[in-house]
Amino acid sequence: MSQLITIRSGRKEDLPRVLELVKELATYEKAPHEVINTVALMEQDGFGPNPIYGFFVAENTRGIVGLSLYYWRYSTWKGKRLYLEDIIVTESERGSGIGKLLFDRTMQHAVDENCSGMMWQVLEWNEPAINFYRKYGAKLDDEWTNCNLERDQIQSLLGSINK
């Protein structure tokens, strides 16, 4: 790292840049059309009366160049866990150690908040990320299948159930 990097807690005024980074990640993951979030929603969800996520940013002289976004998860078996939604480092800064700084800060936050552990997902084709997590000794679990329903699906299902 040739530049000084500062890791700090995210602030409301960071959200426009945060959303840019989210869109950059979506493009990298070949799914830019999937991003429906907005700065207004992120402000409401992260800075309203009941925040549901938090984040750290990495800054250098060029501004915010990285992000670690997390929220709390509760396991019936293990209790409070930190769920790392994304670590994002802008493309021009990848490989410079910023991801490690963000990951380390997020791990420290999990410890500070008395979590029983930390969880996240990684795409099976994202070898750089997989190799990064392996350096930490992370358990990569291929036993579980991810499931989800989108809002319109839920509404449709509920509509057919409630008829």
Q: Domain ranges in the chain?
A: 6-161
The CATH number given to 6-161 is 3.40.630.30
What is the distance between the alpha carbons of residues 28 and 53, in angstroms, rounded to a whole number?
Answer: 23
What pLDDT, on a 0 to 100 scale, did the predictor assign at position 1?
A: 45
The predicted structure's pLDDT at residue 13? 98
Q: Is 133 a catalytic residue?
A: yes
Burial of 131 (0-12, 13-18, 19+ CB in 10 A): exposed
pLDDT by residue, tens only, the chain of 163 residues? 457 999 999 999 999 999 999 999 999 999 999 999 999 999 999 999 999 999 999 999 999 999 999 999 999 999 999 999 999 999 999 989 999 999 999 999 999 999 999 999 998 888 999 999 999 999 988 888 788 888 889 999 998 877 6
Per-residue b/e over 109-128, b at no fewer than 16 CB within 10 Å? bbeeeebeebbbebeeeeee
Instruction: Choose, from 28, 71, 83, 133, the residue flagged as catalytic.
Output: 133
